[in-house]
Structure 1
Amino acid sequence: MDRFKSVLLKFKSLIGLLILCVIISIITPRFLNINNLLNVLTQVSVNAVIALGMSFVILTGGIDLSVGSILAITGAIAASIVVKSNSLLLAILVALIIGALIGAFNGIVVAKGKIQPFIVTLAAMTIFRGVTYVYTNGTPISGLGKNFTFIGNAKIIGIPFPVVITLFIFLIAWYLINETRFGRYVFALGGNEDSTRLSGINTDRVKLYVYIISGIAAAISGVIVTSRIGSASPNAGTGYELDAIAAVVLGGTSLSGGEGSITGTIIGAMIIGVLNNGLNLMNVSPFYQSIVKGLVILLAVLIDKKNKK
């Protein structure tokens, strides 16, 4: 019985996802349509990439509320570069650099300023959302070429390209967390910062790196979103930080840090995506959808807390 319970707890996120899929497919058979499933995967890809970056931050016991604003500003900058120079490579490179720099800003202030990550990233969220409005003058940037829109809309062997990108990012994140010394430092920092510091690990450097990773992940999502829509909106990414945090938590990562997995984060992102899609297929009002998502997240946190006790 104890072994069954331990297995159940270990795979609770995956079991929850499977149960959710079964329930939705019974209520609305359209859910299992291949085109709909591919649409779900495409929609999940953006949140999944952000959530993968967010996982590194939350595993250290931090939080990053600025990812939605990073998505918006990097998407806008990438779009403007494409419009002016028609250089896809330059646009992506600059977007990634900007995402890394904003992440570095967050990491430095958190590590050296000794300020709570919630406050630092909340301020960054507001600052860079404002920067986006100033940069775009409050209007969308359109007129992007087919070379750029290819990223968000193309398919490879029938698989949407954003899904391929997400899989690639997942493999990198999984390797960093599970197969490198840096990954062990991330878990150690989230488990006990004082002990980690006393053991000779540069905790400030680890914090810097995880926020840089989060910034780069948000920038990648910014490029994907901008490419899919075909324009860069200054409002892009609003609320995305909440969905990313929800995906991480639903995947079994503890908000207090030190416990979780990259695989769980992907499953958590799938739960959010399947739930959104199912509610849309059932014609549930967006107002009620927010309530349902909030209740699901709250339930996940309560289960996590009970398991720890």
Structure 2
Amino acid sequence: MQQEGVVQEMNDILTKKKEKRRVNIRKYTMVIALVAIWVLFSFLDKSGTFLTPRNLSNLFRQMAVTAVLAMGMFMILVDLHIDLSLGSLVGLTGGVAALLMYKVGLNPFLAVILTLLLGAVLGAITGSWVNAGVPAFIASLGGMLAYRGAIMGLTRGESIPVSQASFRFLGTAYLPKSIGLVLGVIACIVIILSTFKKRKDRIKFGFKVKPLAMELIYLAVYVISIMLFVLVMNSYKGIPVPIMIVLALALVLNFVTTKTRFGRQVFAIGGNKEAAKLSGINIKRRTLQIFIISGLMASVAGILLTARLGTATTDAGNGFELDAVASCVIGGTSLLGGEGTVLGAVLGALVMASIDNGMSILNTEAYWQLIVKGIILVVAVFVDIYTKKKSK
């Protein structure tokens, strides 16, 4: 019995090492793919527009909506569900925010708060249907149709303009260059200190650590990347406010999913629902909470979209849920549940936005953009399923 226990323990260790290696390979492959996409478009773009600070700034502002929505979809996919209503919810919440300011006359702050509450409530309704036994696919499909109909009814098919400067600030403003530089330096210091603290703790408790030279190389890459991003953005108008909102939400959700009991239970449910139930996890409560978070993220995305465009339309958010799914899968989130990272979903959104932006600069027909994104999604899902089967 003791020998069997040792063998099982060794198998568990090897399995964890394989999973960690697979996650690392995915992470680096995604970064390499992003760099390759940027190099390809910069080569094909004879005007030299793609890698200019102005276009990169626009690229980051455009990817903010997809990135926020991808973070909400990430929570759903990890729990082995799907939410097809998120795109329509973006349109509905963005339209409601515009109506509250344009028709009702509310100040932007109160309009934003009420819009966020609406997103959370509608997410809770979808989660309640799922907990009642309705498949998430059907519950969210019903929501998608209902929300699209609701925004058409509320707006009467008309575009709703938004002119309040404080609201437009969320989607169009830039941080002062000095503040962006200070934040970049602070981020570098935090990364350096946290890396060495983690290294010190691992050595203290006898865990294996990377060679110091390798650790320093990683740190140098992170620091150079952060400062390069700040300097490039500052060479235009500064860091866009939407991307700062994305980074703030990503850091919060990354902490929640990796450092809290809630996050561990969500991944446990997605990895093995029966085992999670037997271990005492309240699955229905976690499912409801996950859908509330996704609804909240959709309302944030709706606010950012309306603030950037300066108007709310009936077709806003149309098809965004598919971009969110593609971003998550490209970023390493498994459709089989229990695997993925928030930061990976954000990076996947950047890949999707880069493809859209690059093909637009090349004046590619719109149908080709859809075809390319569809192919990328299918290939990403195939790679996910193939690697999962191979690791078993």
Q: Which runs of 4+ in 1 moved over 4 A?
A: none
Inter-CA distance 21–65: structure 2 relative to 1 (3 Å threshold): same
Letter in 2 for 1:26: F
- 1:208-223 residue pairs with structure 2 within 5 A? 208-223=288-303
Letter in 1 for 2:94: G
Which runs of no fewer than 5 residues in structure 2 stay unpaired?
A: 1-16, 177-237
* Whole-angstrom CA distance in 2 between matches of 1:232 and 1:107: 27
Q: Deviations over 1:154-192 (max 9, x none)?
A: 111311111111111111111111111000011001011
Letter in 2 for 1:302: F
Letter in 1 for 2:80: G
Number of aligned residue pairs: 306
The worse-fitting range, judged by mean Cα deviation, of 253-262 and 133-142 is 133-142
Larger radius of gyration: 2
Inter-CA distance 283–143: structure 2 relative to 1 (3 Å threshold): closer
Determine which of 145, 148, 152 is the counterpart of 1:133: 152
RMSD: 1.5
Match of residue 186 from structure 1: 266
Is 1:295 matched with 2:371? no
* Whole-angstrom CA distance in 1 between matches of 2:267 and 2:162: 44
Letter in 2 for 1:24: F
- 1:1-309 residue pairs with structure 2 within 5 A? 6=22, 7-28=24-45, 29-83=48-102, 84-111=104-131, 113-157=132-176, 158-309=238-389
TM-score normalized by structure 2? 0.76
Q: CA deviation at 1:143?
A: 4.6
Q: Deviations over 1:32-76 (max 9, x none)?
A: 101000111000000000000110010000011111111111111
The worse-fitting range, judged by mean Cα deviation, of 78-87 and 31-40 is 78-87
* Whole-angstrom CA distance in 2 between matches of 1:31 and 1:230: 25
Letter in 1 for 2:308: R
Identity %: 39
- Aligned to 1:159, the other structure's residue is in SS state coil
Contact 1:82 1:148 in 2 (8 A): no
TM-score normalized by structure 1? 0.95
Q: CA deviation at 1:86?
A: 4.1
Contact 1:79 1:144 in 2 (8 A): no
Match of residue 207 from structure 2: none
Inter-CA distance 124–289: structure 2 relative to 1 (3 Å threshold): same
Contact 1:82 1:144 in 2 (8 A): no
